[in-house]
Amino acid sequence: MTYVDQSPTAAQQPERDEPTSGTGFRDVVAAYVGLTKPRVIELLLLTTVPVMFFADRGVPELGLVLATVVGGTLSAGSASAFNCVYDRDIDEQMRRTRRRALPRHIVTARAALVFATVLAVASTVVLALWVNLLSAGLALLANAFYVLVYTMVLKRRTTQNIVWGGLAGCFPALIGWTAVTNELSWVPIVLFAVVFFWTPPHTWALALRYREDYANVDVPMLPVVASAREVGRQIVLYSWVMVATSLLLWPVAGTGLLYPVTAAVLGAVFLLEAHKLWRRARNTEDLSVIQPMRLFHHSNLYLSLLFVAVALDPLLKL
């Protein structure tokens, strides 16, 4: 059965800037935490801390790791909160996002904007004082890019929104490296590129599952404007480039055998899943047949295990 969203659009519904009455303290706290999108933060930190181990060629100083994690968490949370404020009109109409704090009016848009700004300032201060200025600048750049370029410009205007908008999610690999070394090199750039090419298959699989939501709010994600067959083909292409890029770390960084073996095995499994999705999507638009969430969940596991290998490789060499 086709889902039809009956909720009023932002143009039809007057702006409300008062929280819902009767909301308890725990609900408000949970709402503010929800604005930061904790699951996204977990994934970003997973590409930060392992790179710190790799950059240190061992176990980095605990205080430095803690400061980088705190600063990175505040920065990512700020970007997500800004995103929630700007996208509150479409979030209220989408099944996947309508339970967020702003659509439910637990937190006002003004309060969320102040919250996001405070997190951005706190992140910059923490990273500048206890890590280094380069890492602080990169975190601030990532935040600005996600909000100003992806959220405000690309997301609602082009099918390539997540391809270029996904650059913001690649910065944690750079920040993890610069936190330890205070300089950039080809090693974190390779890891940056791995996350860049990983983002489209990961996000398009999710967007394929919720394409009616995106279509209802006129967000031109690729699965909205292209057939499932074409989406599957694009996912396969990006997956091949991602796996090839991941293997570049071996010669560029001179890793041990753990990393390239792990990258090859994980890459082979990922490519198998991507090709299976494409094959299922060739002759149908039925999501129950295509099963896009299978690749989405697998992509999370792929990135997690790959960066665990990044952290463990220098430890095993020691």
- The CATH number of domain 28-182, selected from 1.10.357.140, 1.10.760.10, 3.30.300.10, 3.40.50.720: 1.10.357.140
Which tokens is 111 given? 């309060």
Q: Please report which confidence band the pLDDT of residue 122 belongs to, taking 50, 70 and 90 as the band edges.
A: very high
How far apart are the C-alpha atoms of 51 and 45, rounded to whole Å?
10
**Which pLDDT score, from 0 to 100, does residue 43 have?**
84
Q: Note the pLDDT of residue 318.
A: 59
Q: Could you report how far apart the first and last alpha carbons of the chain are, in Å?
A: 58
Residues 282-295 have a mean pLDDT of 95
% of the chain exceeding 70 in pLDDT? 92
Q: Residue 4: what pLDDT?
A: 35
Of residues 43 and 23, more confidently modeled: 43
* Residue 11: per-residue pLDDT: 37
211: Cα separation from own chain's centroid: 18
Contacts of 160 (CB under 8 A, 6+ apart): 154
Percent of the chain with pLDDT over 90: 84
Domain ranges of the chain: 28-182, 185-318
- Tell me: the pLDDT tens digits for 174-205? 999 999 999 999 999 999 999 999 999 999 99
What angle separates helix 171-181 from helix 186-209, to the nearest 10 degrees? Answer: 150
Model-level pTM? 0.91
Least confident window among 96-110, 130-144, 178-192? 96-110
Q: How confident is the model at residue 27 (pLDDT cuts 50, 70, 90)?
A: confident
Which of these, 119, 96, 92, lies nearest to 12 by C-alpha position?
92
